[in-house]
Amino acid sequence: MSLSSDLYDIAFIGHMCFDEVAPYQGVPRLAPGSAVLCGALAAARVGKKVAVVTRMAPKDQTILESLLQNGIDVHVTPSAETTYMKVVHTTADVDERQIFQLANAGLFSLADVPPLTARQVHLAGITDQEFDLDLIRGLKKRGFRLSTDMQSFVRQVDPVTRCIAFRDVPNKKEIVGLIDMVKLDIVEAKVLTGTDDLERAALEIEGWGCSEILVTKAEGVLARVHGKTHYEKFSNQSTVGRTGRGDTTFAAYLAWRMDHDVTESLKFAAALVSIKMETPGPFGGTLADVLARMQASHAS
């Protein structure tokens, strides 16, 4: 599969994976997953032209079906195995999770990223096994406007147990300084900045050289943009679709932010992800669904 020479709104780079999710006192389920899947589908379903650059085993091509069905162009670098994640919810609190990476498709190199034209390139990693500074520097030299999810660096895989621990990132300030837009959640914020106060964490990261930061938590999402803070609560009625919350929030924000101000983009992202969290799996709604939720629950 090759990418077209057309202009993409967003190109997502990251592993596709299999997600095994074990809900608290529930029945485990296995499905295609990843930050790339959740993010790319959200952006495509609200009308953006989207590309995906990924690494995976060729035998698992069926994992790409939903992307292709939604008009997303996909470029695959073959790897020996496809990333496999296991998420275990140990309590009723959906933000308390044990995460394991049982298989890994390997680090991206600059050579894995084909020539493409995109308004935004988003590094949508699952763990620290996907991106390094050489890749980020190389993409920056190509002239891309970059965004990333800091889970791509904070989530660090133990080489023996395969358990993921959330740890500080020694080169975090250089990473953030190369990035135009950064996303993280409340857990990652505390690991990186020492505080779980969303605004204080965003202010700290702003000082590292990034002017647009999103931080999510269970109740809502904060944006810190060009020195101003904005916040929007989620409106979901359940959390059965909690996996992929942050990935979907940021993708929705990126998609709407291209043509709208921060306040409208934040409301749009909160509305879209609220719909997504009420059903397991990636966002399956439409632009009309999101606009209706905005009007009903995010108008003020």
Residue 215 forms part of a structural domain: yes
Helix axis angle for 262-277 and 35-45, nearest 10°, is: 110
Report field, pTM of the whole predicted structure over 0.75: yes
Task: Read off the tokens for 296.
Answer: 């009903």
Residue 174 forms part of a structural domain: yes
Residue 240 forms part of a structural domain: yes
Total domain count for the chain?
Answer: 1
**Is the separation of the CB atoms in 279 and 258 below 8 Å?**
no
Is residue 194 helix, strand or coil?
coil
What is the identity of the amino acid at 179? I
Task: Read off the tokens for 286.
Answer: 């439409």
Domain holding 170, by residue range, is 7-297
Q: What is the pLDDT along the chain (300 residues), one digit of tens a residue?
A: 567 777 999 999 999 999 898 888 888 888 898 999 999 999 999 999 999 999 999 999 999 999 999 999 999 999 999 999 998 888 887 767 889 999 999 999 999 999 999 999 999 999 999 999 999 999 999 999 999 999 999 999 999 999 999 999 999 999 999 999 999 999 999 999 999 999 999 999 999 999 999 999 999 999 999 999 999 999 999 988 887 899 999 999 999 999 999 999 999 999 999 999 999 889 999 999 999 999 999 997
CA dihedral sign, ordered 286, 292, 294, 296: negative
Residue 1 forms part of a structural domain: no
CA-to-CA dists, residue 63 to 113, 187, 252, angstroms: 20, 29, 22
Residue 289 forms part of a structural domain: yes
> Which CATH number is 255's domain given?
3.40.1190.20
CA atoms within 13 A on the CB side of 106: 12
**What is the pLDDT at residue 4?**
72
**What is the pLDDT at residue 2?**
64
Residue 12 forms part of a structural domain: yes
Residue 125 forms part of a structural domain: yes
Q: How far apart are CA 123 and CA 129, in angstroms?
A: 12
Task: Read off the tokens for 133.
Answer: 């500074």
**What is the pLDDT at residue 266?**
98
What is the identity of the amino acid at 175? I
**What is the pLDDT at residue 1?**
59
Task: Read off the tokens for 299.
Answer: 């108008």
Task: Read off the tokens for 220.
Answer: 């809502």
